[in-house]
Structure 1
Amino acid sequence: MIPAIVLAGGLGTRLRSVVPDLPKPMAEVAGKPFLWWVLRRLEQQGIGDVYLSVGYKREVIEAYFGAKFGTLNVHYVVEDEPLGTGGAIAKAFDVIVGDEAYVLNGDTMTIVEFADLRSAAASDVDLTMAVAKLDDVARYGAVVFDATSMRRVTAFREKGQTGAGFINAGVYLVKREALKRYPLPEKFSFEQDFLHAHLTDLRVSAVPAVSQLIDIGVPDDYALAQTLVPKMVA
């Protein structure tokens, strides 16, 4: 069974006005930590083992969830200092069993079927990426992919360009070998230093199967999450 890596080490700087002293994934949503909803969704997807990449105030997360969440076995990968998204993922791969893992953010709820990511992960694909269609991609930047059956990602457009398109939804199925192929530093950004920097020779398949997406990183969306997230995970 393919495990999942959840990036849960965020400080939540932009949420400090409403969540002053907690790791961002522990911000309360509808009476429970946001991470509770993320793990519940993983449980619904049939995941057996989840590896939480933790750093800032990790003891709060460890004390709340322990080693078990429903049917999930919960493991912790500790960042003694911030490693960036890429460094956190690479460190998690050092301890997980298997050649691939789902990767997702602990501060974003993305409704996508992991079976769709698996079915797109052909033997010659390095990773599959869930993408979401929006009427305006200006806030996020855009993912461009070709019209082949593989939907190979060909470019990333920077934030600020307006109009409809697809955005990176922050959920991946990553093969260990793809990360090991490059001489990456201990601290790096998965998006900028890995995906963007090596896109010309990486084989990345876009999966446009996201039905709903919410990121609690800003106060307005955090407020919206209070009513939306329980419906998404029901």
Structure 2
Amino acid sequence: MPTAPIRPTEPDRGMSTGDATALSTESARTEIPDAADIPVVILCGGMGTRLREASEKLPKPLVDIGGKPVLWHIMKTYEHYGFRKFVLCLGYKSDLIKNYFLAYRAQVADFTLTLSDDHTPQFHNAVGDEKWEVTFAETGLLTGTGARLRRVAQYLTGPRFMLTYGDGVGAIDVGAVLSDHVKSGRLGTVTGVRPSSRYGELETDGNAVTLFAEKPPQTGWVSGGYFVFEREFIDKYLDDDPALLLERHPLQQLARDGELTLHNHDGFWMGMDTFRDWTELNQLWDSGSAPWRVWTD
């Protein structure tokens, strides 16, 4: 998962009083939306080359935490805050992601199958009965993150959408992220996080160590994903270059234009980038203290 440092900018929000179109746009941006109407785009096309011990035969979003794909954990987080519509940007081993959801309920629920009939299962419980609407979009094997988003624009018909990566979990109130975005009136919002350093930090006096901090939080904000964008961001900042990376020119230019808001998240967040990350996330889940489990079922 790309984690770029964030440098907040203070935009000039001045506007001509005679510009009726601009006024209309600003008014639409500040309306409080219903989460159930907002699609959540999840980037699911990466290969996860640094996670081969856990994902050699799977696309990264299907690598499990506690027996469920990390993608499922991400979707459950959004569902907890009222989001129901998902658009998955598929790439590497996309067939496995499709098949997981096509057989989703049969994998987790009790059912009876009458073989002499039409093979329609009769389910006996509500397990696996998530009220999700999931669009599966083939966006290419080696496509850049920005190009993947561009290729699903046809499925984003409303005024705004959520976006995140398919390999990071966090105790993030995505409803609050949306609220901050709407209040800002800007085109985009990114969730800033302070993940723990992978190394112990030392404070010294000469050659004497005066403080040893095991994996302290980083001091600066980095991008943790969990974005919100106005739909016009796609038309203004994304082109048809198949190698276009969202984290390069589009977001950098958005920040320079004063159109990117920071949502501060001081709580738990972790990208599943390495085998060590995968092991740690599974240990947290198995211990019953996974901080990102905000749902109750």
Asked if 1:55 is matched to 2:116, the reply is no
Q: Counterpart of 1:142?
A: none
CA deviations over 1:112-170 (Å, ceiling 9, x no partner): 112222222246301111111346599xxxxxxxxxxxxxxxxxxxxxxx961111111
User: Which residue is equivalent to 1:128?
Assistant: 189
CA distance in 2 between counterparts of 1:66 and 1:196 reads 38
CA contact (8 A) 2:178 2:228 kept: yes
Deviation at residue 16 of structure 1 after TM alignment? 1.1
Hey, what's the Cα distance between the residues in 1 that align with 2:79 and 2:234? Answer: 26
Alignment of 1:22-41 (within 5 A): 22-41=58-77
> CA separation in 2, counterparts of 1:13 and 1:112?
26
Aligned to 1:96: 156
**61-70 or 32-41, which moves further after superposition?**
61-70
- Closer/same/farther in 2, CA of residues 36 and 163 from structure 1, 3 Å limit: closer
- Matched with 1:190 is 246
Distance 1:134 1:123 in 2: 25
Give 3-state SS (helix, strand or coil) of 2:79's partner.
Answer: helix
In the alignment, residue 80 of structure 1 is paired with which amino acid?
G
1:219 to 2:275 alignment: yes
Counterpart in 2 of 1:179? Answer: 234
Does the 8 A contact of 1:136 with 1:164 survive in 2? no
How far residue 78 of structure 1 moved from its aligned partner, in angstroms, is 0.7
Q: Give RMSD over aligned pairs.
A: 2.4
Query: Is the 1:137–1:163 Cα contact (8 Å) retained in structure 2?
Result: no
Which ranges in structure 2 are unaligned for 5 or more consecutive residues? Answer: 1-36, 105-128, 200-216
Superposition map of 1:4-23 within 5 A: 4-23=40-59
Q: What is the TM-score normalised by the length of structure 2?
A: 0.65
Can you give the 5+ residue segments of structure 1 that lack an aligned partner in the other structure? Answer: 139-161
More strand by share: 1
Give secondary structure in 2 for the equivalent of 1:194. helix
Q: How many residues align?
A: 211
Higher-Rg member (1/2)? 2
Distance 1:207 1:29 in 2: 26
Contact 2:254 2:260 (8 Å CA) reproduced? no
Query: 1:171 is aligned with what amino acid?
Result: Y
2-structure distance, mates of 1:163, 1:132: 9
SS in 1 for 2:88: strand
Q: How far, CA to CA, are the matches of 2:132 and 2:262 in structure 1?
A: 27
Distance 1:70 1:183 in 2: 33
